[in-house]
Chains A and B, each alone.
Chain A
Amino acid sequence: MSKGWDPGLVLSWTVAVIVAGAFCWLLGDVFWNGLGRVNWQFLTEAPRDAGRSGGIGPIIVSTMLILLVCMAASLPLGVGAAIYLSEFTDSEVGFGRMIRRSLEVLSGVPSIVFGLFGSAFFCIYLGLGFSILAGGLTLACMVLPILIRATEEGFRSVPSEYRLGGAALGMSRTRRLLYLSFPAALPSVVVGFVLGLGRAIAETAALIFTSGYVDRMPSSLFDSGRALSIHIFDTSMNVSGGEAQAYGTAVVLVFTLLSINLAASWITDRWLYRESIGS
């Protein structure tokens, strides 16, 4: 390497400092203002006075119900589609290619467009109204591409010896899938699940017209329920003196997301890595 002034050194360090600084500012601000709010009472009580005081108990419950609906709908469908795409089709031709393109575009569709679709299809056409069910199903459409991509990769990376060995032992295709490929690809399914969960829990725009604003404890899936992200939006935008609550909720949401992402990368690092060594 020739000696002398390296513009890349200065530029890249400057960029790194700016970027890291901006993000520390953002995260620091959220945790600094919000951490003091979070305690057991905050997590369990109902919001009072339009969200100026009280807690976020019902909102956590609604969020979990929305996620449950989302995952219960998207997981079987997504895993099924991923198995089909990886085991039965070629990715670059015909039917498989068509579905894969469609999913690629779907993964880029703005969440507000999913919101419009969900409100027209689930709320009005299927008559679900503002409900947790409608919100969860809308999110399910949204996380489907993420789930399928991760799962499909898992199935594709199952060594073909597994399948050949199974076939040699006279196992049916169903059994080979169930007892050989599926367990080997399971970590990827879990990663897909976790990534999808992360995307779903962060979502706001797709939920404002589907699961609605009602901040009370839902008594069924047909009730409207407010998700954590919508609570942050509403208290920070529409409630004077609501910032403190918004920050508290933001800490809960960011913390949950961090745990989810950590879990995903832990699984990827440990489980997937060990599997590949093991095989």
Chain B
Amino acid sequence: MFQFSSDTILFGVLRLCAIAAGSVLLLVFVFLVVESWPALSNVGLVRFFSDESWHPAGENGLFNLLPMLWGTLFVTAGSVLIATPLGIFSAIFCHYYAPSWMARVYRRLIELLAGIPSVVYGLWGLVVLVPLIRELQPPGPSLLAGIVILTLMILPTIALMADAAISNVPKQYLHSAAALGLSRWSTIIGVVVPAARSGLFAGVILGTGRAIGETMAILMVCGNVVQTPSSLFDPIRTLTANIALEMAYALNDHRSALFFSGLLLLLLIIVLASLAETVRVRGEVNV
């Protein structure tokens, strides 16, 4: 008898791998909390939302994160509102309206776009889109530019998820609808979309998460002025862009405040993930 058979060793090693992989999130969370602690204790939670502005450098720093929170919120909401119908109709197009060869090409295109790096979207936005918006209404880098770029970036996510959700609609639903003499459009609106709604919703949540977290493209096209926008053409700064822009030279409480905004982002994502989980569970119960 061996004291440790190869099975015991294997089991131990694999378990260790799983624990290590599972604890990465914990590690990230702990480090964000530890690093944002100085700001939380020196500045206090309230001042992140009540200070008069964001001027965190120097002796008497001011730490209002609200304008950037609004920036993140507006740019995310705008892009999700536009990308959702576009993505869902893309999937409907592939399933019900396009000739099969075209559906295949279109699907490939969307898959391809899902893999394009954000910095390439940013490059296009910076060189093509921003000057176009400047023609319309200076200065050019703006909330609008951010919304357009983000829409393009999250559209593939939403479209691919919608595509999968629509594929999973049971065939007998469609046969019944046809038997009832429903038109194609009525079938889609009345049968397919309701049946696929939990999948569609999951896609929208995934897209929202991606929009909240996007950094480089937003940094390149939004102008990065800390202000609550009053029009689509105002430049804005998001929480993510703020971190990318200032982390390189932030010190002390300022640096710690940036980690706090990272922590905020992480919490937002956790909320979104649990929302997605609820939807998934409920979807399974319903079907």
Contact = CB atoms under 8 A, between A and B. Distances in A.
> Do any beta carbons of A and B sit within 8 angstroms of each other in the complex?
yes
B93 A104 contact: no
Contacts of B10: 173-174, 177
Interface stretch (A16-24, A44-52, A162-170, A270-278): A16-24
Nearest to A261: B115
Contacts of B155: 19
B17 A77 contact: yes
A2 B127 contact: no
A59 interface: no
A83 interface: yes
A8 B28 contact: no
Contact of A253 (B120, B262, B269): B120
B212 A144 contact: no
**Which interface class (under 10, 10 to 19, 20 to 34, 35 or more) fits B?**
35 or more
Contact of A116 (B20, B32, B96): B32
Contacts of B14: 80-81, 83-84, 87-88
B13 A102 contact: no
B25 A102 contact: yes
B90 A111 contact: no
A187 B272 CA distance: 32
Given A23-B152, A85-B18, A113 B213 contact: yes
Contacts of B122: 233, 236
A277 B117 CA distance: 35
A217 interface: no
**Which interface class (under 10, 10 to 19, 20 to 34, 35 or more) fits A?**
35 or more
Interface stretch (B45-53, B62-70, B214-222, B225-233): B214-222
Interface residue SS majority, chain B: helix
Contacts of B34: 120
Given A78-B21, A112-B265, A116-B247, A202 B115 contact: yes
B113 interface: yes
Contacts of A189: none
A29 interface: yes
Interface residue SS majority, chain A: helix
Given A80-B17, A113-B262, A117-B28, A11 B89 contact: yes
Contacts of A72: none
A141 interface: yes
Contacts of B106: 16, 20
A116 B89 CA distance: 37
Of the candidates B24, B159, B212, B266, the one having the most CB atoms from chain A within 10 angstroms of its own CB is B24
B21 A2 contact: no
Interface in B150-203: 152, 155, 159, 178, 181-185, 188-189
Interface of B: 5-7, 10-11, 13-28, 31-32, 34-35, 85-86, 89-90, 92-93, 96-98, 106, 109-113, 115-124, 126-128, 152, 155, 159, 178, 181-185, 188-189, 206, 209, 212-216, 219-220, 240, 243-244, 247-248, 258-259, 262, 265-266, 269-270, 272-273, 277
29 contacts: A8-B97, A8-B188, A11-B89, A13-B93, A19-B86, A26-B124, A29-B124, A30-B124, A77-B17, A80-B14, A102-B26, A109-B213, A110-B214, A113-B213, A113-B262, A113-B266, A115-B243, A141-B24, A141-B28, A198-B115, A202-B115, A208-B248, A232-B120, A233-B220, A236-B123, A243-B123, A246-B123, A254-B117, A257-B115
- Sorted from nearest, which 6 A-B pairs have the closest CB atoms? A110-B213, A80-B17, A202-B117, A99-B22, A12-B93, A84-B14
Interface of A: 1-2, 4, 6-9, 11-13, 15-16, 18-20, 22-23, 25-27, 29-30, 76-81, 83-85, 87-89, 98-99, 101-106, 108-117, 119-121, 125, 141, 144, 148, 172-174, 177, 198, 201-205, 208-209, 229-230, 232-233, 236-237, 243, 246-247, 250, 253-254, 257-258, 260-261, 265
